[in-house]
Chains A and B, each alone.
Chain A
Amino acid sequence: MGRRILVALVVVAGLLVPNAAVAQPATGGAAKLRVAVPQQIDSLNPFLGYSLASTDLFRLIYPTLTTYSPQDFSVTPELAESWETSPDKLTWTFHIRPGVQWTDGRPVTARDAAYTYDRMMHDPAAATANGNFVENFESVAAPDESTLVIRTKTPQATMLAIDAPIVPEHVWSQVEDVAGFANDRMPVVGSGPFELTEYEPEQYATLRANPRFWRGPAKISELQFVQFKNTDASVQALRKGEVDVAQKLTPAQFDALAGEPDVAQVQGQGRRFFEMLINPGAANSAGAPIGTGHPALRDVRVRRAIDQAIDKQALVDRVLTGYGQVGGGYLPPIFDDYHWAPQQPRRFDPAAANAQLDEAGYRRGPDGIRRTPQGEPLNLGFMLHASTSADAQVGEFVKRWLADVGIAVELEPVSDNQVNDRTTAGDFDLAISGWSANPDPDYVLRLQTCGSRPSPEGGGTPDSFLCDQVYDDLYARQLGEFDPAKRIDLVKRAQQRFYDQATASVLYYQNSLEAHRSDRYSGFTTQPAAEGVITGQQGYWGYYGAQPTPAAMNSQDTDYGTAALVLVGVVVVAGAVIVLVVRRRRATVDERE
């Protein structure tokens, strides 16, 4: 018996070897930044990959024409040094920065950009991830190495926000089938601050600093994305020093790291807004009514009353435990220029909401539930993402508040996919929705236009089914407005109109919670500079600006030579023990039968 325990101990000791082995400083003072990634990298092919983890990776590897400044999200030259537009605003000429090289030494030219956009325009597979950027392109040409000319079908103010990676023509022109190309031949040719050198699906991606990067090499020598399917585990890995940055933390995880030495918390404003859709009577793009929305919600007074009956501050305090801001306008405050807050907000006021519902003709029945003019009780369904705990909490609060004003709410938690399908089909009364906004507001603003409603044969991406001439006019004018100040004004007026129509109630903007090892890294460039984030930026600033501390430069690497020796020793001892046990058994063989 004692021997068996010994064997077990020896085996366990063997597994611990790399920890026990003598650690030696790595040579050359190389700093490696390890980032825990909660989401999968779905593809290394920039024409196909769409997950946040993939886009994050592409921003580090491939150039874009322009980028967003880390200070305030303003458009900043990147591959294009400068640009101008024709008087009719239909022709855009970009001047490509000279001297930029691909990681294989070839120059990056206007032809590469033209090739990339052209492929997206003509090869449906290449349009998978970023096709929307080239939808309005008439033609793309590169008359010489340093000039790129794009003609659009209609004037488009978002031309400086083409967030699509540019790929090297000399590599990609060899690729016949974009959909079937994994782009996993290492190192991957790019021209960003980092070069992808190693990739193990579902495990990690390793990038090394690109010495040829035109802004100069990064201060860290290596960047590693390590996959964690479970953010609890990534928090533990951060505590233990297995990773240097953890992201997408829940308020509880964030709070748990408060007292931790060597860990710094980063609380940034989020890019996402969280809203409750109030179905105003959904219709398709032909104007035909669709879906099952409650008729009472077609009355704007009812929608406003519902919005007013919700205590958004309580949601921020209780659901987000304070890590967020009360909702109002359609764009989150992180995008300072375009964010709009209502001048006369509908503050939480059940009495006013009650009065408005009375005025609209919805009288309370004997059970306290209001009745429609036809005598039907006012029962609304509230569709929630079953997989999200925040939804469940918001649902319970809203149910209680609406009961106070005489509206019965039935919570309907369903799968994420069903939320998408039923909102697109208009099959809801109230539903949780939310979008991540971009520095350019066009994408989310478009969701509320008449044109976004689903076509009779499918397609279209509606949000709240607002279809309002005033809103559409403002939307169209901002898209064609090239004066930044005037465009900002139009965007704010569009949000004002959306707020007045109350087809959705923006409940809150959730903060983005991150943490990093302060003993190993400092000086991350956050975006925006004030209350910004490190991960998931619109650009590569966060990782590019990371400053290793002396401790990170002298990282201890496990010495596997010693480990191997110890392992051999362990195997020999274990072998000897087994031989001994077998001998002892043989000795008693006579006794057996």
Chain B
Amino acid sequence: MADVTVEERAEHVRSGGGWPGYLARKLGGGLVSVFLVAVLGFFLFRVLPGDPVRTMTRGAPVSAEQLEQLRQRFGLDQPLWKQFVDFLGALLRGDLGTSYTYSRPVAELIAERFWPTVLLVGTATVLAVVLGLWIGTRAAWRHGSGFDKASTSIALTLWSVPTFWLGLIVLMVFGVGVGPIPGLFPVGGMSSPDTPAELIPQVLDVARHLVLPSLTMVAVIYAQYLMVMRSSLLEEMGADYLTTARAKGLREDLVRRRHAVPNALLPTVTLIFLHLGLVVGGAITVETVYSWPGLGLLTFEALRVPDLPLLQGTFIVLAGSVIVMNVVADLLYRVLDPRVRAA
């Protein structure tokens, strides 16, 4: 008994600390990255050509005094270092400044648009993961078969199609209807204004609006899960433990489901979490096609103006979500794979 404890301790020393240390390192790294993103966000958007105050007045004939007042209101009359210090101070308080276009706090605007994006990206990711893993598993198990070839080529074709174009095609076919296919789903927005205020109609309404945008996103992103699942399962297929399982007399179906797939899942899980952060940004196109009132659309609008505080805010939130998901992926990997704990 005592021997075991000693051995465990020795292992912990080798891996550079246990859970608390690992957690602290990963979280610390994440925080540093968020800080760097904030710094980058501040300076990056100040490199953009153009006087922000002129942007705000969009060519309206305003007097020099009015311009000066606007500069003061947004703190643009201060030296850059002072603006940066103010920006960091405000950021720590969760204050992302005031949008030029909407004259409202950026944090409020982002909070409003955050959940629609999470709903869209979340639904699409769950569906894409399920679809990708399921087809990927089957394709690998019967690799070289007609099913394998067909499913892989369909997925890769959809992956390489421009999202905007695919979105429009999906919209035409399922939103408006072509030939015998009736137009079943709304072509834009997230809800209809006339829906009764009760819960069930509201949920149904949002669900119907969700179908086409999430379908488009799924079509574009499921290929990556399919390919990773397929290749990592192919790597496992020759492994001895599968032969052992078969030797025990297990059905082929169970060998696949209980033995091969769990082992092949590891790289896929990491990929899912790494991508979750990126997908939020990737929603820009889909949200624009379907007028989905999310963060992507907000970013698109902010870029067009350009609305400095809003761009900074969405940049920090989007980059932040990538960082958070990276940390989650790291932590999860350690839970899932004992080899990481030992290494």
Q: Is B339 an interface residue, CB under 8 A from the partner?
A: no
Quick one: which of A124, A387, A560 contacts B198, CB cutoff 8 A? A560
Q: Is B66 an interface residue, CB under 8 A from the partner?
A: yes
Minimum CB distance partner of A592 in chain B:
B254
Quick one: which of A15, A16, A32, A236 contacts B172, CB cutoff 8 A? A236
Most chain A CB within 10 A, of B58, B188, B205, B290, is at: B188
Complex CA distance for A421 and B49, rounded to whole angstroms? 8
Q: A421-B51, A592-B254 are in contact. Are A50 and B60 (CB under 8 A)?
A: yes
Quick one: which of A242, A418, A455, A461 contacts B61, CB cutoff 8 A? A461
Q: By the criterion CB–CB under 8 Å, are B61 and A443 in contact?
A: yes
Q: By the criterion CB–CB under 8 Å, are A228 and B204 in contact?
A: no
Q: By the criterion CB–CB under 8 Å, are B290 and A233 in contact?
A: yes
Interface residue ranges of A225-247 to B (CB < 8 Å): 226-230, 232-234, 236-237, 239-240, 242
Chain A residues in 8 Å Cβ range of B207:
14-15
Minimum CB distance partner of B58 in chain A:
A50
Q: Is A416 an interface residue, CB under 8 A from the partner?
A: yes
Interface size on B, residues (CB 8 A): 70
Shortest beta-carbon distance from B318 to chain A in Å = 18
Q: By the criterion CB–CB under 8 Å, are A228 and B291 in contact?
A: yes
Q: By the criterion CB–CB under 8 Å, are B291 and A227 in contact?
A: yes
Q: A560-B196, A567-B204 are in contact. Are A417 and B59 (CB under 8 A)?
A: no
Shortest beta-carbon distance from B47 to chain A in Å = 13
Q: By the criterion CB–CB under 8 Å, are B62 and A459 in contact?
A: yes
Q: By the criterion CB–CB under 8 Å, are A48 and B103 in contact?
A: yes
Quick one: which of B63, B171, B288 contacts A236, CB cutoff 8 A? B171
Quick one: which of A50, A203, A240 contacts B176, CB cutoff 8 A? A240
Q: A421-B49, A459-B62, A560-B198 are in contact. Are A179 and B289 (CB under 8 A)?
A: no
Which of B142-150, B179-187, B321-329 forms part of the interface with chain A? B179-187
Most chain B CB within 10 A, of A127, A128, A179, is at: A128
Q: Is A457 an interface residue, CB under 8 A from the partner?
A: yes
Shortest beta-carbon distance from B165 to chain A in Å = 11
Q: A15-B211, A417-B50 are in contact. Are A182 and B104 (CB under 8 A)?
A: yes
Q: Is A204 an interface residue, CB under 8 A from the partner?
A: yes
Interface residue ranges of A190-245 to B (CB < 8 Å): 198, 200-204, 206, 224, 226-230, 232-234, 236-237, 239-240, 242
Chain A residues in 8 Å Cβ range of B200:
560, 563-564, 567
Quick one: which of B63, B104, B187, B191 contacts A237, CB cutoff 8 A? B187
Chain B residues in 8 Å Cβ range of A201:
112, 293
Complex CA distance for A48 and B250, rounded to whole angstroms? 71
Q: Is A265 an interface residue, CB under 8 A from the partner?
A: no
Which of A37-45, A295-303, A370-378 forms part of the interface with chain B? A37-45
Q: Mark B186-201, 1 if CB is under 8 A from A, else 0.
A: 1111110111101011
Minimum CB distance partner of A232 in chain B:
B168
Most chain A CB within 10 A, of B198, B201, B304, is at: B201
Q: By the criterion CB–CB under 8 Å, are B176 and A239 in contact?
A: yes
Q: By the criterion CB–CB under 8 Å, are B289 and A420 in contact?
A: no
Shortest beta-carbon distance from B16 to chain A in Å = 36
Q: By the criterion CB–CB under 8 Å, are A591 and B198 in contact?
A: no
Q: Is A458 an interface residue, CB under 8 A from the partner?
A: yes
Chain B residues in 8 Å Cβ range of A387:
304
Complex CA distance for A128 and B301, rounded to whole angstroms? 20
Most chain B CB within 10 A, of A202, A239, A424, A592, is at: A202
Interface residue ranges of B254-305 to A (CB < 8 Å): 254, 258, 287-291, 293, 297-298, 300-301, 304-305
Chain B residues in 8 Å Cβ range of A452:
61
Shortest beta-carbon distance from B4 to chain A in Å = 27
Minimum CB distance partner of B207 in chain A:
A15
Chain A residues in 8 Å Cβ range of B198:
560
19 examples of A-B residue contacts, CB within 8 angstroms: A43-B104, A124-B69, A204-B189, A204-B193, A226-B193, A227-B189, A227-B291, A230-B289, A233-B188, A237-B187, A416-B304, A417-B50, A417-B305, A421-B54, A459-B62, A459-B64, A560-B195, A560-B200, A592-B250
B interface list, Cβ under 8 A from A:
48-51, 54-55, 58-64, 66-67, 69-70, 73, 98, 101-104, 112-113, 168, 171-172, 175-177, 183-191, 193-196, 198, 200-201, 204-205, 207-208, 211, 248, 250-251, 254, 258, 287-291, 293, 297-298, 300-301, 304-306
Given A228-B291, A560-B196, 5 additional A-B pairs, CB 8 A: A18-B208, A203-B190, A230-B290, A417-B306, A592-B258
7 closest pairs, A vs B, by CB? Answer: A202-B293, A459-B64, A560-B201, A124-B69, A229-B291, A417-B50, A233-B188
